[in-house]
Amino acid sequence: MTKHHVTTTVNGDAVEFLCEAHETLLEVLRDGLGLTGTKEGCGTGDCGACSVTIDGRVVCSCLVLGVEAEGKAIQTIEGMAAGTRLHPLQRKFLEHAGLQCGICTPGILVAARSLLERNPDPTEEEVRYWLAGNLCRCTGYNKIIDAVLDAAREMRGADHA
Amino acid sequence: MRYEAPRTLEAALALLSSANGQARVLAGGTDLLIGMRAGHVAPELLVDVKGITEMTSILAENGGFRLGAAVTCMDLVEHEAFAKAWPGVIDAVKLIGSIQVKGRATVGGNLCNASPAADSVPAMIAADASVSIAGPNGKREERIENFTTGPGKTALAKGEIVTSFLLPRRLPHSGDAYLRFTPRTEMDIAVVGAGVNLALDDGGVCRQARVSLGAVAERALLVPEAAAALIGSKVDAAALERLAAAASAACRPIDDKRGTREFRIKIAGVMARRAAEIALARARETS
């Protein structure tokens, strides 16, 4: 079977890869490109652990084929921190203990960043609805919501500075 | 499996008709990829239609909207003019899965997947949308209420694609709404769904109405008897009672773990009445 040659960008870097038609973007990221920050939870689009953005839209990478990445801009959790400097969301997740086992965390951070880019001042309800597609079996969610709201506050403050 | 991403409808149709084995259209993939992973479908050819401009555009047409079948739910929700004209369709589209799923899933896919519980379908039936279909024998139009024929079954012939929907020009003083019952407020499948679209005259009398129910039969139903309960009334309490009774009477639901037959029949009336009240309020707000 001939492989598809795909040209795309991942976290701003030009990337080329070969993949089979049936391979998902999640498989390409993890097994082909070694970007294992994106996790596989359910594999059926229910849990959100594999969330990445494609051209700014947050999606489940398990429900996208690798070939569909052609010409797109992909953002993964690996692109979130600037070197060793954590993104405010990442820092607030640590401060608020918004994670335990950590499998859901990359997907939640990617989804939360997408929310704050669109809506810098979300209500608690808006955060809960936006993150409804990201399941966490450890935290009970409250600490995650607190972390996102606190990060949003800090990021708004930074904008005014 | 072969993957092709044609740039034109003609190329997509040629690919589909030339396939040796099973060919499937790939739009958002939120149902198809799950089916492939589970082994329920094993296509020989995937035709990705997201590169076809007419299938991914929202355009004004004859005072209404031409909605490409492969427009994602998030693109539709964020389209301000469409959302202002058809808030009930947006109510429904917002309920299709998570933010992640809505970033990929399409109204065309929701229709063609042919789930009796699909949220956008009753809202689009109430909106009086028509379905534009292209195939090896040319183009044709189908009323959306006639498109789904049963669970997983549609009126599409071999080699045909749903390309777009046409939503008609909005009348003055008109509004639509969609409501569903689910045990949870998010990330769930409709136990009952109800779409209502109505138009009032200058005196506040309902002159046109369409009512559709989801998840209470083998496919989403258009319920003319429920619409008739509203037409000619001021959508007062008595008319709403008649609407609810007609909606319940039209149900022929299954009994399953998400809702008993008796419950679905009763709730269909409640959801239709509440959706009509929202549609009425929206109609009164529009000039």
CATH code for the domain of B271:
3.30.390.50
Q: Is residue B160 part of a domain?
A: no
Reported confidence tier of residue B17, pLDDT bands at 50, 70, 90: very high
Option in B1, B74, B100 nearest A133 (CB) = B100
Among B157, B154, B124, which Cα is nearest to B138's? B157
Q: Is residue B148 part of a domain?
A: no
* Gap from B278 CA to chain A (nearest CA, Å): 22
Q: What is the pLDDT of residue B187?
A: 84
Domain limits, CATH 1.10.150.120, in chain A:
88-160
At B226-282, the pLDDT tens digits run 999 999 999 999 999 999 999 999 999 999 999 999 999 999 999 999 999 999 999
Contact B37 A44 (CB under 8 A): yes
Q: Is residue B163 part of a domain?
A: no
Over range A133-143, report the average pLDDT. 96
Contact A68 B72 (CB under 8 A): no
Contact A132 B99 (CB under 8 A): yes
CB B251, CB B268: distance < 8 Å: yes
* Gap from A161 CA to chain B (nearest CA, Å): 30
At B92-151, the pLDDT tens digits run 999 999 999 999 999 999 999 999 999 999 999 999 999 999 999 999 999 999 999 999
For chain A, the average pLDDT equals: 96
Domain limits, CATH 3.10.20.30, in chain A:
4-79
Over range A78-101, report the average pLDDT. 97
Contact A24 B33 (CB under 8 A): yes
Does pLDDT of A159 surpass 90? no
Instruction: For this complex, say whether ipTM is above 0.85.
Output: yes
In chain B, what is the greatest distance between 2 CA atoms, to the nearest angstrom? 60
Q: Is residue B158 part of a domain?
A: no
Q: Is residue B82 part of a domain?
A: no
Does pLDDT of A96 surpass 60? yes
Contact A58 B30 (CB under 8 A): no
CATH superfamily of A88-160: [2Fe-2S]-binding domain (1.10.150.120)
Beta carbon pairs, A and B, within 8 Å: 77
**Strand order in B2-4's β-sheet?**
B2-4, B45-48, B23-26
Q: What is the pLDDT of residue A160?
A: 53
DSSP helix/strand/coil, B123: helix
* Gap from B136 CA to chain A (nearest CA, Å): 26
CATH topology of domain A4-79: Ubiquitin-like (UB roll) (3.10.20)
Q: Is residue B270 part of a domain?
A: yes
- Dihedral of the alpha carbons of B118, B121, B126, B131, in degrees to the nearest 10: -170
Chain B contacts of A71, Cβ < 8 Å?
none
Contact B99 A63 (CB under 8 A): no
Q: What is the pLDDT of residue A161?
A: 46
Taking any CB pair shorter than 8 Å as contact, residues of chain A touching chain B are 4, 21-22, 24, 43-46, 48, 51, 54, 57-60, 62-65, 67-68, 70, 111, 114, 129-130, 132-134
> What DSSP line would sit under chain A, residue for residue?
-PPEEEEEEETTEEEEEEE-TT-BHHHIIIIIS--TTSPPSSSSSSS-TTEEEETTEEEEGGGSBGGGGTT-EEE-GGGTSBTTB--HHHHHHHHTT--SS-SSHHHHHHHHHHHHHH-SS--HHHHHHHGGG---SSS-SHHHHHHHHHHHHHHHHHHH-
CB B132, CB B139: distance < 8 Å: yes
Option in A57, A65, A133 nearest B3 (CB) = A65
Q: Is residue B234 part of a domain?
A: yes
Which alpha helices (H) appear in A8-50, and where do they start and end?
25-27
Contact A51 B101 (CB under 8 A): no
Option in A4, A62, A114 nearest B3 (CB) = A4
Tell me the whole-structure pTM to 2 decimals: 0.96
Does pLDDT of B217 surpass 60? yes
> The domain containing residue B192 runs over which residues?
174-285
Domain count, chain B: 2
Q: How far is CA B28 from the centre of its chain?
A: 15
Q: CA B96 to CA B177: how far, in whole Å?
A: 15
Chain A: residue whose CA lies nearest to B5: A68
Q: How many CA atoms lie within 13 A of B283 on its CB side?
A: 30
Q: What is the pLDDT of residue A2?
A: 82
Q: CA A21 to CA A28: how far, in whole Å?
A: 11
At A26-85, the pLDDT tens digits run 999 999 999 999 999 999 999 999 999 999 999 999 999 999 999 999 999 999 999 999
Q: Could you tell me which residues are beta bridge partners of residue B45? A: B2, B23
Q: CA A39 to CA A134: how far, in whole Å?
A: 12
* Gap from A4 CA to chain B (nearest CA, Å): 9
User: Across chain B, how many H-helices and E-strands are there?
Assistant: 11, 14
CATH of the domain at B36: 3.30.43
At B53-94, the pLDDT tens digits run 999 999 999 999 999 999 999 999 999 999 999 999 999 999
Option in B5, B74, B104 nearest A63 (CB) = B104
Q: Is residue B136 part of a domain?
A: no
Q: CA B75 to CA B164: how far, in whole Å?
A: 15
Q: What percent of chain A has pLDDT over 70?
A: 97
